[in-house]
């Protein structure tokens, strides 16, 4: 995700080992039947894992769900409330009471990796290291463990981006691709596996960059993927541009903010994949990118999430 930091600290100089396990926090609350899937989807963008458990109804109450999300940072309650309110289109005052607790020192990520199911999206088959089955015939296989960065292929926004990459990869040759806000690096891996492009992956989070390097090595793409820490489209990213294929699976607000900057780094005729936005936010995002001289090509909608594919005007 996009945040502070535009230089490469010493800790990013080597990606030789698996990233260290972070401290973890859990967000807990109870939601009604209609809002629970919206809240679950929104938390999936910022949390390492999200689970929903059905509550037993009482005679005076409708069915409800207990939602628990695990994060590798200390969540701020009002920021979580704002995210949930935006996802459900309701006022902050109507958000259920949220509890935030730090988890005990347990290898929760190892547990999460064990529970992470394989995902088949378009040509891509994504699985963790614990998978001992046989991938579907003809699938492009990516091995990614659940880790300290977003992107295991299970969330609709990631699946939508993978679907877009699959479709765009067959349309033309690509020379330079960028996974902006790379998280686990899953989209960079998809670029490397499906195109002949030189692939770059950037994130403001050191753990995400380390995780991307680890996953690139696991999948045999260390020589194909250059992962760097950078704040959005700052100088470290621009130095490798312009790009003819860019994917940004972040949130609607930072996408809108970066529209003009993306117009400067995507070369004329290049493809831009935007994900991480709610379907109801499509028009606001599109308006910003029309202004930045992008043309809308097509959209994938999975649940409440949209993935937009744009083309830079020639």
299 in the same domain as 263: yes
Say if residues 176 and 200 touch (Cβ distance below 8 Å): yes
> What predicted TM-score, i.e. pTM, was given to this entire model?
0.70
If asked whether residues 73 and 115 sit together in one domain, one would say no
Contact status, residue 222 vs residue 213, Cβ threshold 8 Å? yes
For 261-274, what is each residue's pLDDT tens digit? Answer: 999 999 999 999 99
Q: Is residue 5 part of a domain?
A: no
CATH code of the domain in which 77 resides? 3.30.70.120
pLDDT tens-digit profile of 70-93?
888 889 998 999 999 988 888 888
Domain boundary among 105, 136, 165: 105
Residue 21, CB half-sphere, CA atoms under 13 Å: how many? 13
Burial of 192 (0-12, 13-18, 19+ CB in 10 A): buried
CB 106 within 8 A of CB 26: no
Per-residue pLDDT at 20 exceeds 50: no
Contact indicator for 107, 21 with CB cutoff of 8 Å: yes
More confident residue, 156 or 284: 284
Show Cβ contacts of residue 176 under 8 Å, excluding neighbours closer than 6 positions.
Answer: 197, 198, 200, 240, 241, 242, 243, 244, 245
Which of 78, 105, 132 is where one domain is finished? 105
Please tell me whether residues 209 and 84 are part of one structural domain: no
Average of per-residue pLDDT across 214-237: 94
Do 265 and 163 share a domain, yes or no?
A: yes
Same domain, 146 and 216: yes
Which residues have C-beta within 8 Å of that of residue 17, sequence separation ≥ 6?
214
Give the range of the structural domain holding residue 35, as residue numbers without chain letter: 25-105
Please check whether residues 71 and 202 belong to one and the same domain. Answer: no
Considering its fold, how many domains does the chain have in total? 2
- Looking at the fold, whether 208 and 275 belong to one and the same domain comes out as yes
Asked if residue 2 is part of any domain, the answer here is no
Structural domain includes residue 78: yes
């Amino acid at each position: 995700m996009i945040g502070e930091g535009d230089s490469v600290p010493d800790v990013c100089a080597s990606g030789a080992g698996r990233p260290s396990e972070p401290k973890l926090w859990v967000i807990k609350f109870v939601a009604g039947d209609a809002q629970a899937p919206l809240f679950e989807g929104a938390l999936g963008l910022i949390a390492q894992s999200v689970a929903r458990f059905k509550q037993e109804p009482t005679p005076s109450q409708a069915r409800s769900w207990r939602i628990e999300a695990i994060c590798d940072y200390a969540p701020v309650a009002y920021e979580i409330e704002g995210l949930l309110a935006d996802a459900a289109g309701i006022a902050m005052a109507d958000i259920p009471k949220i509890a935030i607790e730090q988890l005990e020192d347990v290898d929760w990520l190892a547990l999460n990796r064990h529970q992470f199911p394989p995902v088949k999206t378009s040509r891509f088959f994504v699985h963790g290291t614990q998978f001992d089955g046989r991938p579907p015939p003809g699938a492009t296989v990516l091995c990614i463990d659940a880790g300290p960065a977003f992107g295991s292929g299970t969330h609709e926004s990631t699946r939508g981006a993978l679907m877009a990459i699959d479709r765009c990869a067959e349309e033309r040759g690509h020379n330079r691709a960028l996974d902006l806000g790379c998280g686990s690096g899953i989209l960079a891996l998809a670029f490397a596996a499906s195109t002949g492009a030189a692939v770059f992956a950037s994130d403001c989070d050191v753990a995400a960059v380390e995780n991307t390097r680890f996953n690139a090595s696991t999948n045999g793409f260390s020589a194909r993927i250059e992962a760097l820490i950078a704040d959005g489209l700052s100088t470290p990213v621009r130095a490798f541009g312009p790009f003819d294929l860019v994917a940004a699976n972040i949130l609607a607000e930072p996408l809108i903010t970066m529209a003009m900057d993306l117009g400067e780094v995507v070369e004329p005729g290049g493809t831009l994949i935007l994900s991480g936005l709610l379907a109801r936010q499509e028009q606001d995002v599109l308006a910003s990118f029309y202004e930045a001289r992008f043309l809308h090509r097509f959209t994938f909608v999975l649940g409440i999430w949209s993935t937009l594919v744009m083309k830079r005007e020639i």
